[in-house]
Structure 1
Amino acid sequence: MQESRRVLVVEDEPVINQTVSDRLTAEGYEVVRAWDGPGAVAADAEHEPDLVVLDVMLPGYDGHEVCRRIQARRPVPVLMLTARDDESDVLVGLGVGADDYLTKPFRMRELVARVAVLLRRVERAAELAERRPAELGGLRVDAAARRVWLSAGTGWEEVRLTPTEFDLLLCLAAEPGTVVSRDRLMAEVWGWPGASATRAVDSQVKGLRAKVGADRIRTVHGVGYAFEVTA
């Protein structure tokens, strides 16, 4: 029997917090709860959940700051909940390490589906456990450990990627020089076949470029992106 996944639910509205927690518990997840920013960071450190459902508007400090602090300590999938369907808010969330977002009000069925998709990435990491680290032109990728290093002089310097950034890098680096369409990236990285969310893809690529080098990811306008092996 597969071990139950642990989900941290961070929401200051008691009714929403309870409703989301009850539904995830009914789906078989182990649920930990928090109601403000400091409590969320503390709960993540104590319980190390497999996924965080995180509201943007929180007392103490907001969800974006919570996400920054959590991702600085360890990579973990984060599903953001936002009250505003504003593109800039969504891009800020993705920029600080969130993997997905839902706009309130949302259907509980959709939240459960998004949680399941994000957690499947964790399962994929186990499937890659037999792969050895690969070096691609000054970039070293360990798929099993989900770690990345850049060549730095006489040694290697580790780069901290979010779960989505790592999966995006794996997808692109699997076929160096080959253009991967945004639609394919949405299907393989986000698990949303047929979805149209080019802003989400572009935002994550921007963040990945800032960490591994802009010259490693080539833009093919109107199509998608390609991973380039640099000298």
Structure 2
Amino acid sequence: MYRILFVEDDAEMGQLIGDWLARHDMTVLLEPRGDQALARVAAEAPDLVLLDIMLPGMDGLSVCRALRPQFAGPIVMLTSLDSDMNQVLGLELGADDYILKTTPPPVLLARLRVQLRQRGLMREPLPSALPANRLSLGQLVIDLPSRSVRLSGREVSLSTAEFDLLWQLASHAGEILGREQLFRALRGRDYDGLDRSMDVAISRLRRKLGDSAETPTRIKTVRQKGYLLVAEAWD
């Protein structure tokens, strides 16, 4: 298991990302305050530090600057601030990567693995990283680097948002994903209880993947819970 110190004051976001990474050989330790981050790094000796920018006590950029001289592992900024200035500043202060919180979790995982591999910290063989880049469920094949989808050998044309939604569902095949979880993972915001755009997106995805609108068998709606991509329905 790899130890990740995630300096993040949003407990829900920290838990969401921590749960995802935990399924891929990563233990996430949460620290909500920037001014406690250096002490936690010294005490926990993580393999990688994941830093938000907006933090109480000390902002993430200041933490990065203070941490870089004493920490040899990767430092990755994970933030909702989509700013070229912040990105350039973070990298100049010693961060190894700058990732937006709206990045799909599989892409986040792949980029963290790249950092660990480049530092010689990856302990598992390379093939184990493949699930983060390519998913195969029967006749459904989803390739992340090329962002392509094939069903029964036929290429399926999806928009960027549709591909991200399918990847999220397929990455959790057999699990029910609630609207709240999908909104946070794909759009970086909370579900307000009224927005039906996710339902519309699911309907479009079903149509393009040959699923029934009235009685879907591949991407099911679980009443009052969310959506379920059925792993066995793609043969």
TM-score in terms of structure 1 length: 0.50
**Paired amino acid for 2:5:** L
1:38 and 2:35 correspond: yes
1:85, CA displacement in angstroms? 1.6
**Paired amino acid for 1:22:** D
Q: Residues 124 and 43 of structure 1: is their aligned pair in 2 closer, same or farther, counting only changes over 3 Å?
A: closer
1:110 and 2:107 correspond: yes
1:69 and 2:66 correspond: yes
Counterpart contact for 1:9–1:20, Cα < 8 Å = no
Q: Which runs of 5+ in 1 are unaligned?
A: 127-192, 195-231
- Aligned partners of 2:76 and 2:101: how far apart in 1? 13
May I ask how many residue pairs the two structures share in their alignment? Answer: 125
**Paired amino acid for 1:10:** V
**Paired amino acid for 2:96:** D
1:125, CA displacement in angstroms? 9.9
Deviations 1:26-68 (A, max 9, x none): 1111222101102221111101111111101100010011111
- Aligned partners of 1:94 and 1:115: how far apart in 2? 15
- Aligned partners of 1:124 and 1:57: how far apart in 2? 28
- Aligned partners of 2:17 and 2:39: how far apart in 1? 20
- Aligned partners of 1:17 and 1:124: how far apart in 2? 23
Deviations 1:82-121 (A, max 9, x none): 2222111100000110000112322111111111100001
- Aligned partners of 2:121 and 2:100: how far apart in 1? 27
Counterpart of 2:56 (choices 59, 62, 69) is 59
Counterpart contact for 2:73–2:119, Cα < 8 Å = no
Counterpart of 1:120 (choices 97, 117, 120) is 117
1:124, CA displacement in angstroms? 7.2
Counterpart contact for 1:67–1:96, Cα < 8 Å = yes
Counterpart of 2:24 (choices 23, 27, 37) is 27
How large is the Cα RMSD of the aligned pairs? 2.1
**Paired amino acid for 1:122:** R
TM-score in terms of structure 2 length: 0.50
Q: Which runs of 5+ in 2 are unaligned?
A: 124-144, 147-235
- Aligned partners of 2:40 and 2:12: how far apart in 1? 20
Q: Residues 99 and 33 of structure 1: is their aligned pair in 2 closer, same or farther, counting only changes over 3 Å?
A: same
Identify the residue that residue 85 of structure 1 maps to in structure 2: 82
Counterpart of 2:5 (choices 2, 8, 13) is 8
